[in-house]
Amino acid sequence: MSYNQRRNGAGRGKGSIKSWVFIVLTVVIVAGIGATAFGMLKNKNPMTRYLTAEQNTIEKQMTFMDSQSEQMEQLEEKMMGNGFRSNSTITADFNLEDGAQSFGAMLPMIKGMVSSSKIETEQRMDPDTKETFLAFDLLLQGQSLGNAELYQNETNAALKVPFLYESYFTLPNDQFGEFLRKNGEVTVGMEKLPNLADYQSATLTRDELDEIAEDYVTTLIKELDKEQFKMENGVAYEGSKFDKVTLTLSEAETKEILKVMLEKLKNDDRIWDMVEAQMNMNMAAGNIEDGKASVEELEKEVDNLELPDGFKLEAYLDGDVVAYRDINFKVSHKEADETAAFAIHTGYSEENEDTYTSTMEMNVVSSTDEEAMSFTFEEKGKKSGEELHFDHNISLKLEEAGGPSTIGANLSSVIKDNTTEMTFDVMMEGAMFAGGPVPEIGGYFNTETEVDGSAANQKMDLGIEFAMEDPMTGSISGMVEFHIDTDTEFTNDLQFPSLDDRDTVNVMETSDQEMEEIMMEVQMNLQSYYQNMFGNLGGLGAF
């Protein structure tokens, strides 16, 4: 399914980053090199041997994930292209173990308020009519503290806060900037309200990712030549012997590849359509023409780059997989004295067919030795019956003038059928955090997704543990938990508000005097509402 086909209404689906990487490597073999390259395998062509090993290595890791995210992908695919109605309930709990004394008698009341509160939301979306309805209600002990509704179609956006005012306040989407200026606000990048339904369907599908990957990898392969690859057999490395493939690119060859890829990016409407949708949603300043101009400027700046050693990749092949990779290059700018040296090392090993370890380390060192960065990533995967176990260790270390700093995370996940259970710990230490107490953070994140025809249910539970030594208050530790339960129905029978002129207030056509009268009524309604509400709750003592 092509990008152009989807623009005409066909095709759905969204792939994960890992599946995208697999597609890239598959395309390298199939689309980029083609049948001729496979014929070269018999001749041990270094280029083909290396690329085939890359494909096999990623494919082995990908088999661990086959069908494990099927329910989640089904839900995402359906929500991108079908009308739906979702209802969510969000609840929370918290417990303070150390430091409770600083809250005194307020702590039981606060805990009671949190545990007896919930947020209810409703979402209706029709991608065909480009209509979206969102409703929000905050409840305490079953009674609403406040609610709001948002409705948008292709022309207008409307907001209603029922407990404050009975009518919708409406604004034409294309007059948002004018509305801000009317109220003395800055309007940079915010001339038009983005259409929420458009943004929902603007997410790249798996087919589109496949298409983009194929195009870019094919372009890259065309810039490589088999003469740039050399192979040595039986090379000793890390205590074993491997077939070593070396890819060497000169400075000129490396810069030419960068120019070709940037030129392709500059002219790729698929990418810029996605960027434009994201910019519209975030109401960011600028436009895609500014982005294209920036890419064009980068393309020109390639001539000012200096890569004195070119680009070098050394791959150590263990049979049909890449066991290790070493990538090295130095880069600087003609107008700068400083050079940065990049060294990337990866490893992949299998204990057996159900267990593997994948590692990556990247070091960047300044020629002045005043600054350095080290990023490490380790993934361990193990299949045990119907369960998949993953352990991830991630670390970023920075060496700066003020001293070293480290940010890291350890994650452990178990995936089975349609459920995921993950625990995590976060590490933050060093000069970057010397200004005050640094909390220890950990917790869990669990999900469960069920898709049954036109109905779906998704549960998410997040718990965050924290502990900190504060010089003023002493030890503080506890846990905050959030629980989200969402029911979704896929249907074309969706009811949306009717923005009849008699039931709306157009903020661009209402006079200042009329708006002032409305605001006075809103204030009176607010005061009356909360007086009645807290009276019904029996005051704060009810907690």
- How far is the C-alpha of 314 from the C-alpha of 231, rounded, in Å? 10
Mean pLDDT over each residue of the chain, to the nearest integer: 83
- Per-residue pLDDT, 104: 63
Q: What single DSSP character describes residue 286?
A: S
> Confidence class of residue 438 from pLDDT cuts 50, 70 and 90?
confident
- How far is the C-alpha of 193 from the C-alpha of 173, rounded, in Å? 5
Q: Beta 168-172 vs 504-506: how paired, if at all?
A: parallel
Contact yes or no for 349/357 (Cβ under 8 A): yes
Give 410's contacts (C-beta < 8 A, 6+ positions apart): 391, 392, 393, 394, 424, 425, 427
Residue 334 exposure: Cα atoms within 13 Å on the Cβ side? 6
Q: Please spell the DSSP secondary structure of 296-360, one letter per residue.
A: HHHHHHGGGEE-TT-EEEEEEEETTEEEEEEEEEEEEETT-S-EEEEEEEEEEEEEETTEEEEEE
- Per-residue pLDDT, 43: 44
User: Cβ-count burial of 303 within 10 angstroms (0-12 exposed, 13-18 middle, 19+ buried)?
Assistant: exposed
The better pLDDT of the pair 282, 111 is held by: 111
The better pLDDT of the pair 478, 393 is held by: 393
- How far is the C-alpha of 480 from the C-alpha of 179, rounded, in Å? 39
> Confidence class of residue 154 from pLDDT cuts 50, 70 and 90?
very high
Percent of the chain with pLDDT over 70: 83
- How far is the C-alpha of 441 from the C-alpha of 443, rounded, in Å? 7
Residue 296, pLDDT > 70, answer yes
Residue 442, pLDDT > 90, answer yes
- Per-residue pLDDT, 20: 34
Q: Please spell the DSSP secondary structure of 395-439, one letter per residue.
A: EEEEEETTEEEEEEEEEEEEEETTEEEEEEEEEEEEGGGTTS---
- How far is the C-alpha of 114 from the C-alpha of 117, rounded, in Å? 5
- How far is the C-alpha of 391 from the C-alpha of 411, rounded, in Å? 6
237 three-class SS: strand
Element spanning 177, H or E: helix 176-182
> Confidence class of residue 282 from pLDDT cuts 50, 70 and 90?
low
pTM: 0.80
- Give, rounded to a whole angstrom, the gap between the first and last alpha carbons of the chain: 57
Per-residue pLDDT of 326-358, as tens digits, reads 999 999 988 888 889 999 999 999 988 889 999
Per-residue pLDDT of 205-214, as tens digits, reads 667 777 888 7
> Confidence class of residue 191 from pLDDT cuts 50, 70 and 90?
confident
Per-residue pLDDT of 16-46, as tens digits, reads 333 333 333 333 333 333 333 333 343 458 9
Per-residue pLDDT of 369-426, as tens digits, reads 778 999 999 999 999 888 999 999 999 999 988 889 999 999 999 998 889 999 999 9
Report which residue type is found at 24: V
Q: What are phi and psi of 168, to 5 degrees?
A: -80, 140
Q: Where are the domains of the chain?
A: 337-435
- Per-residue pLDDT, 500: 77
> Confidence class of residue 189 from pLDDT cuts 50, 70 and 90?
low
User: Which parts of 82-203 are beta strand (E)?
Assistant: 84-98, 117-126, 131-140, 143-152, 156-160, 168-172
Report which residue type is found at 283: M
- Per-residue pLDDT, 29: 38
Short-list 312, 375, 316, CA closest to 347: 316
Per-residue pLDDT of 225-240, as tens digits, reads 889 999 999 999 999 9
- Per-residue pLDDT, 106: 74
Residue 362, pLDDT > 50, answer yes
